[in-house]
Amino acid sequence: MTEDYSELEKILKVDFKNKDLLAEALTHRSYLNEHRGYRLDHNERLEFLGDAVLELVVTEYLFKNYSNPEGELTNWRAALVKGDNLAVVADELGLERFLKMSKGEKNTLGRARRYRLANLVEAIIGAIYLDQGYVKAQRFILDNVVVKLDEILKNKSYLDAKSYFQQKAQELERQTPHYEVLSESGPDHDKTFKVGVFIGEEKVAEGEGHSKQEAQRVAAANGLKVKGWN
């Protein structure tokens, strides 16, 4: 019996000709471990294709609509296609409830969940491209991913917060900031780190993340706000 994907297709604004492509995009690798007789493959090949289509559409849009230097456009593109942004897109569209995955995978949260959601968006883009062609995939990307560019530019979230904080600290305070781990919590597979960013003896701000690097970036971004260097 063919599954009914009409609700998801309304969300995606795509009426798939080949429903198997959509079903495959929704199949996480872990699902196959618990369903040995499942007739479709997992979504990693579609994710591979979707990643390339996403990057091309975003690059084309930026090239045609902005005359900024290559370096700036590269930063903007990176902010649009990064996993965290795609995970937000997945959450906004409510895609996770359609994803087929193992019971264990469903309980995986934090960074692993964001990674899983980002891959799902890329796989869906790949499926749309194969089923409907470039223009339809482009429409989906413009409506759901590129639409976030104004917010990214407004918040300057395309900037590398650590590099920018260091640049401003050296420029305005003649010191190079450093980072210290303040605490660690959670199980080994999903740790949370709290990191402080310091200028000399002054703790400017704190940040949390599921890796030390992520926590440092958050701390640097918070430090920019505290110092008014945004």
The per-residue pLDDT for range 82-124, each reduced to its tens digit, is 998 999 999 999 999 999 987 777 777 777 888 899 999 999 9
Residue 11 has pLDDT above 50, yes or no: yes
Q: Which of 24, 51, 105, 131 is catalytic?
A: 51
Task: Give the count of domains, the chain.
Answer: 2
Among 130, 155, 180, give the residue marking a domain's end: 155
| Least confident window among 1-5, 55-59, 121-125, 180-184 | 1-5
Please give the mean pLDDT across all residues of the chain.
91
Q: What is the pLDDT of residues 194-203, one digit of tens each?
A: 999 999 999 9
Q: Got the DSSP string for 97-113? A: GG-B--HHHHT--HHHH
Q: In the annotation, is 20 catalytic?
A: no
Q: How confident is the model at residue 2 (pLDDT cuts 50, 70, 90)?
A: low
The pTM score is 0.75
CATH number at residue 83: 1.10.1520.10
Domain final position from 155, 177, 194: 155
Assess whether 51 carries a catalytic annotation.
yes
Give the gyration radius of the chain's Cα atoms: 20
Q: Does 120 fall in a domain?
A: yes
Q: In 3D, which of 226, 59, 45 has the Cα closest to residue 138?
A: 59
Q: ∠ CA(196), CA(198), CA(201), 5° rounding?
A: 125
Torsion of CA 8, 10, 13, 14, to 10 degrees: 60
Which domain does 146 fall in, by range?
A: 6-155
Catalytic residue among 24, 47, 105, 122: 122
Whether residue 1 is contained in a domain is answered as no
47: in domain: yes
Single out the residue in 106, 129, 155 at which a domain terminates.
Answer: 155
Q: Which residue has the higher pLDDT, 41 or 223?
A: 223
For residue 38, is it within any domain?
yes
In terms of domains, do 75 and 49 share one? yes
Average pLDDT score over residue span 41-61: 96
Statement: residue 64 has pLDDT above 90: yes
